Structure 1
Amino acid sequence: MTIALLCSGQGHQGPGMFDLVGHGPDVAPLFSHASRWFGSDPRDWVRSASDEQLRENAIAQVLCTLHTLAAFAHLAPILGRRCCVAGYSVGEVAAWHVAGRIGALDALDLTVARASAMNAASTGQEGMLFVRGVNRRALDALCAGRDAAVAIINPGDAYVLAGTADALSAIALDARQAGAARIVPVPVRVASHTSRLAAAVPVFRRALDGVSVSAGMAGRRLVSGIDGAIVLDKRGGLDRLARQIAEPVDWSACLQACDEAGASAFLELGPGRALSQMAADAYPLIPSRSIADFRSWEGVHAWIARVMQN
């Protein structure tokens, strides 16, 4: 049985995000390490933080990476060696840990380095916009001549665009006239995965050279976010991880890679349910859940045990 572990990006951080994953001795070092960026324990910090604070780019990236790492710390003892791992946006940093390539604390440090590089490269009022129901060619045409581009390719003619706030506002109006089924602002304030952040790529690439990277665990496949390719070469994989900041994420290809690797279940490590829902919609015959669906680890373990028997 091969389980596909999906590592979430930012957007679903909130006051109760650590209620399930934030307890136990295995996760204590993670929260202790992360507290240096919050001035207090992140489990306490999120409960009193404002929406504005929770959406700040660096804070959001660290919180979501921390959630994924904590969830995996709970799951690691019961997971078999055979799995594939894919990360959505910043989730790809955590995916490198889940796949056994880097340490958990290194993943947190790299997340901070990534966010800092992105913030430094970001200029002006930027953001992201979700659009469903308009094909890629039409979206590219709407972006042409404007400071915006396709940033994430999701299954089923669903895309995330990124660029300046003015450009995205204009594109939203045109996309609605073009028959878009859904248009929703994404609570991210940088133009992630577009050339506007090109200056951040070499900065983050140097940070990646500063951590110890292993070959990973046998049977654990790591999927590259920009093309869905299985990471086989360390240097090439790190190059793609850095380039992802300024190039589109092909999440549709990532899910396809998991399916082709023989995934018999998808499990999103959270926070949120967006990735597991996309997997369920794209591959309805494959069981798909998120950690966020469960109230206890007993429930998570029971579900994993059931799908492993099929």
Structure 2
Amino acid sequence: MKAYVFPGQGAQFTGMGKDLYESNAKAKELFDKADDILGFKLTKIMFEGTAEEQKQTRVTQPAIFLHSVAVALTNDSFAPDMVAGHSLGEFSALVANKTLSFEDGLRLVAKRAAAMQRACEINPSTMAAILGLDDKVVEDICASIDEVVVAANYNCPGQLVISGSVKGIDIACEKLKAAGAKRALPLQVGGAFHSPLMEPAREELAAAIEQTTFAIPVCAVYQNVNASPAKDIAVIKKNLIAQLTAPVRWTQSVQAMVKDGGKTFIECGPGKVLQGLVKKIAPEAEVASL
């Protein structure tokens, strides 16, 4: 069975999607439509913008979504048996399996990006990558700190991203290094994504999700919140709303897809980050790009 997976924030690069735009009429239509919906020239920033411009949350999230969805929807061989997306990528996955229309998916991603940016301004916060420790050790140390610090991204065995207040992350990094972490590396991000500090954004996005039409998907989406397959619209909505303040259970999602018959994992979108993670989680799986 083929599992199509969609990347999240951080996979962007200058020139992203330009070849597709110039070579595929259907892709060009999606890119031009995105510029109209967003009200600014996202494509110009994707094709020509600086790394600094592309790092802006309002740009990064719609850009990765647009590229990922365009890759999937314009490829004749795209026929998913199951889908999943890492954080932001879950929205791309929901368009790919026809739960959301392209237009509604893009509008939700734009609202998500704006809401997350506002939440970051309310609560200055950050994230850090922790390498070389068991998940339980990281979780216990985070829980022992008298600040907001939580496990945010279970990327693969031995690689867990934590999220929280700036002070909390500093304390956690020192404690985790003392506990034997190979690295405890603060990330260049604007806030504590997938933590309780994103609650203002979760509330904003919840309202938008509830007002959006969701359709019965053509295949199950394995959602970040619980790493379980979902085809029920009410369940998908509930999990999507919870996603902003809950951890991304990517390790567990890939394990669940393999258990359910996923043999080939095909990454749709910029970069090959997810292929690398899949190989660390499930060495027996085949990986490829669309």
Q: TM-score, normalised by structure 1?
A: 0.85
Which runs of structure 2 are paired with 1:259-298 in the superposition (5 Å)? 259-291=258-290
Contact 1:150–1:160 (CA under 8 A) maintained in structure 2: yes
Q: Report the secondary structure of 2:205's partner residue.
A: helix
Letter in 2 for 1:70: A
User: Please, which moves more after superposition, 65-74 or 162-171?
Assistant: 162-171
Deviation at 1:47, TM superposition (A): 4.1
How many percent identity over aligned positions?
A: 22
CA contact (8 A) 1:21 1:74 kept: no
Could you tell me whether the CA contact under 8 Å between 2:134 and 2:157 is conserved in 1? no
Q: Which residue of 2 aligns with 1:145?
A: 146
Asked if structure 1 preserves the Cα contact closer than 8 Å seen for 2:4 and 2:268, the reply is yes
What stretches of structure 1 of length at least 5 have no aligned partner?
A: 292-310
Residue 254 (str. 1) matches residue 270 (str. 2): no
DSSP 3-state at the match of 2:40? coil
Measure the CA separation in 1 of the matches of 2:11 and 2:112: 19
SS of the residue aligned with 1:108?
helix
Contact 1:6/1:87, CA 8 A, preserved across alignment: yes
May I ask how many residue pairs the two structures share in their alignment? 285
Unaligned runs of 5+ in 2: none
1:45 aligns to 2:45 (yes or no)? yes
Aligned to 2:231: 232
Runs of 4+ deviating beyond 6 Å: none
Residues 112-170 of structure 1, C-alpha deviations (whole Å, 9 max, x = no match): 11112222223243222111112223222332212321111122131111122332233
Q: Distance in 2 between matches of 1:199 and 1:125?
A: 13
Q: C-alpha separation between the residues in 2 aligned to 1:156 and 1:78?
A: 31
- SS of the aligned residue for 2:220 comes to strand
Q: Using the alignment, how far apart are the partners of 1:131 and 1:105 within structure 2? A: 36
C-alpha distance in 1, partners of 2:101/2:193?
25
Using the TM superposition, give the Cα deviation of residue 38 of structure 1 relative to its aligned residue in structure 2, in angstroms. Answer: 6.7
Structure 2 SS opposite 1:226:
coil
Offset at 1:174?
Answer: 2.6
The equivalent of 1:103 in structure 2 is 101
Aligned partners of 2:256, 2:97: CA distance in 1, in Å? 15
Q: Which residue of 2 aligns with 1:165?
A: 166
Corresponding residue number in structure 2 for 1:26: 26
Tell me, in whole angstroms, the C-alpha distance in 1 between the residues paired with 2:94 and 2:3: 14
**Offset of 1:173 from its aligned partner?**
2.7
Q: Any idea what SS the aligned residue of 1:254 has?
A: helix
Shift of 1:104: 1.0
Contact 2:72 2:78 in 1 (8 A): no
Does the aligned pair in 1 maintain the 2:69–2:269 contact within 8 Å? no
Deviation of 1:244 after TM superposition, in Å, equals 0.4
Please name the residue that 2:216 is paired with: 215
Q: Give the SS at the match of 1:12.
A: coil
Q: After superposition, where does 1:41-190 map in structure 2 within 5 Å?
A: 42-75=42-75, 77-80=76-79, 82-122=80-120, 123-143=122-142, 144-190=145-191
The CA distance in 2 between the partners of 1:71 and 1:200, in whole Å, is 28
Q: What is the aligned partner in structure 2 of residue 297 from structure 1? A: none
Contact in 1 for aligned 2:173/2:184 (Cα 8 Å)? yes
Q: Contact 1:57–1:188 (CA<8 Å) still a contact in 2?
A: no
Q: Which range moves more in the overlay, 279-288 or 165-174?
A: 165-174
Q: Aligned equivalents of 2:95 and 2:8: distance in 1?
A: 15
CA separation of 1:51 and 1:97: change in aligned 2, threshold 3 A: same
Tell me which moved more, 102-111 or 171-180. 171-180
Q: What RMSD, in angstroms, separates the aligned Cα atoms of the two structures?
A: 1.9
Q: Could you tell me the TM-score, scaled by structure 2's length?
A: 0.91
SS in 1 for 2:263: strand
Give the whole-Å Cα distance in 1 for the aligned partners of 2:289 and 2:182.
Answer: 25
> What amino acid is aligned across from residue 115 of structure 1 in structure 2?
A
Q: How far does residue 48 in structure 1 lie from its aligned partner after superposition? A: 3.6
The residue type equivalent to 1:182 in the other structure is R
Name the aligned partner's letter for residue 181 of structure 2: A
